[in-house]
Amino acid sequence: MHLSFSAYYTLIFAVLVLLLGKLLTRHIRFLRDFNIPEPVSGGLVVAAVIFALHQLTGLTLAFATAMQTSFMLVFFSSIGLSANFAKLREGGMGLVLFLGVIAAFIFVQNGVGVGLATLLGLDPLIGLVAGSITLLGGHGTAGAWGSVLENQYGLSGATALGIACATFGLVIGGLLGGPLAKRLITRHQLAQPRSMATPTASNAGSASDGKEPANFETPNTAPRLITAEAAIETLALFAGCLAFAEFMTSATQGTKLQLPTFVWALGGGVVIRNVLDYGFGFKVFDRAIDVFGNAGLSIYLAIALLSLKLWELADLAGPLMIILAVQTITLALFAAFITFRIMGRNYDAAVLAAGHCGFGMGATPTAVANMQAITSQYGPSHKAFLIVPLVGAFFIDIINAFVLQLMIAWLR
């Protein structure tokens, strides 16, 4: 039995998934505590229902996925459009050093994934899916690379596998960071617990999902409204990114510069943003870009989860849990012995290690939540709350995309 839905009905189902996710997140504390995105919480429930229908009746549902790619490209364009290089100067050498540490960890994470997948007799590309594609990249990157691996490299079920790994990472990243940082602080006597947790300005700031660009507008100015004029202006920026991505994908096809379309969309956003900033003095509306990017990611994930075929993952459950367990241990050791030491072996370094656990296997909000748990007990860390959102929001996605492209080319 096979039932297909048009684009209009697919969009309706996607919105229903988002509403269900919002309802579940509102009433289930676990989903809130671990920053599980609403599209994921609602989508996994719907995917489980579709799986049960398939197992009981043999029914297969097919949803229109043509617009799914467009929403994905909007999300990655928003990351690029938020990448203002002036923030690199603001972060100073600490930001550059932390970027270097995380870039090195990408190779370690992927090396562990590929090595274990090979030992377990799996396709090495599955190791990348259970590596930085999902654990450091998050749900958006999982879906993007999942479609690439399915369509270009024939890796069946890559998207479903990626969503599962990314969700696992969110939970583990939230569980790991706080205890690890607390142990480092206690062992090295870096700070004493405060008698009362006091919220500080340095503890503010997060993004609504793992990889959306953070809002870095000046907090002391009156907020700019997202009017029809602002929306049209922002749409023009996204249109430029999508046109650039389409042109570069076509122009580089079959060459050594060939990259997935979403990487060109991200790169186009970086170019457009910084040319407008430094060439024309044009102030890009970060909050509007955030809204468009978040909406694009939410609808994209909802459609992707509707299209999951969970029955394709049955044979991978055991090996996948082995890989993810080893990845968890690897992250803990790397954060404790590499990140902490390179970043200075002080209190800021311990908070940064907690943040690294947050987006090393989770998302930027998870990293911020980890750091808030520590700073509410031991005091603020202005350095960590400047560096981690900047790295987790967009800079690391750029590095991750190019490292993954190199590793896939090497494996194939």
- One digit per residue, the tens of pLDDT, for the chain of length 412 reads 778 888 889 899 999 999 998 899 888 887 776 666 778 788 888 888 888 888 888 888 888 877 888 888 888 888 788 777 776 676 678 888 998 999 999 999 999 999 999 999 988 999 999 999 888 887 778 888 888 888 888 888 788 888 888 878 877 887 788 889 889 998 998 888 865 444 443 333 333 344 444 444 444 556 777 888 888 989 999 999 999 999 998 898 877 777 778 778 888 888 898 888 888 878 888 888 888 988 887 888 788 778 777 666 666 778 888 999 999 999 999 999 999 999 999 999 999 999 999 888 877 777 877 887 788 888 888 888 878 877 876 678 778 888 888 888 888 7
Amino acid at 68: Q
**Number of CB atoms found within 10 A of residue 146's CB:** 23
Residues 119, 130: Cα–Cα separation, whole Å = 14
For residue 24, being part of any structural domain is answered with no
User: In total, how many domains does the chain have?
Assistant: 1
Q: Is residue 230 situated within a structural domain?
A: yes
Contact between 140 and 400 under an 8 Å Cβ cutoff? The reply is: no
Question: Tell me, what's the pLDDT at 112?
Answer: 94
Q: Examine residue 61 and state whether it is found in any structural domain, yes or no.
A: no
- Establish if 17 belongs to a structural domain: no
Domain encompassing residue 264: 69-213+226-288+318-411
Q: Looking at residue 55, what is its pLDDT?
A: 82
pLDDT at 221: 55
Report yes or no on 248 lying in a domain. Answer: yes
Q: What was the pLDDT predicted at 211?
A: 43
Is 152:119 a contact under the CB 8 Å cutoff?
no
Q: Which residues contact 399 (CB under 8 A, 6 or more apart)?
A: 99, 102, 103, 106
Question: What is the C-alpha to C-alpha distance for residues 346 and 339, in angstroms, rounded to an integer?
Answer: 11
In a domain? residue 59: no
Instruction: Using the structure block, give the residue that is written with the tokens 């790169």.
Output: 267
Residue 203 confidence (pLDDT): 38
Q: Residue 81 has which token pair?
A: 């459009």
Q: What is the pLDDT of residue 205?
A: 36
**pLDDT at res. 198:** 43
Provide the token pair at 359: 């987006």
| Residue linked to tokens 């960590």 | 384
The token duo for 29 is: 């504390």
φ, ψ dihedrals at 304, nearest 5°: -60, -40
Residue 305 belongs to a domain: no
SS3 sequence of the chain: CEEECCHHHHHHHHHHHHHHHHHHHHHCHHHHHCCCCHHHHHHHHHHHHHHHHHHHHCCEEECCCHHHHHHHHHHHHHHHHCCCCHHHHHHHHHHHHHHHHHHHHHHHHHHHHHHHHHHCCCCHHHHHHHHHHCCCCHHHHHHHHHHHHHHHHCCCCHHHHHHHHHHHHHHHHHHHHHHHHHHHHHHCCCCCCCCCCCCCHHHCCCCCCCCCCCCCCCCCCCCCCCCHHHHHHHHHHHHHHHHHHHHHHHHCCCCCCCCCHHHHHHHHHHHHHHHHHHHCCCCCCHHHHHHHHHHHHHHHHHHHHHCCCHHHHHHHHHHHHHHHHHHHHHHHHHHHHHHHHHCCCCHHHHHHHHHHHHHHCCCHHHHHHHHHHHHHHHCCCHHHHHHHHHHHHHHHHHHHHHHHHHHHHHHC
- In this prediction, residue 302 carries a pLDDT of 84
Task: Decide if 303 is inside a domain.
Answer: no
Tokens 């090979």 belong to which residue?
A: 118
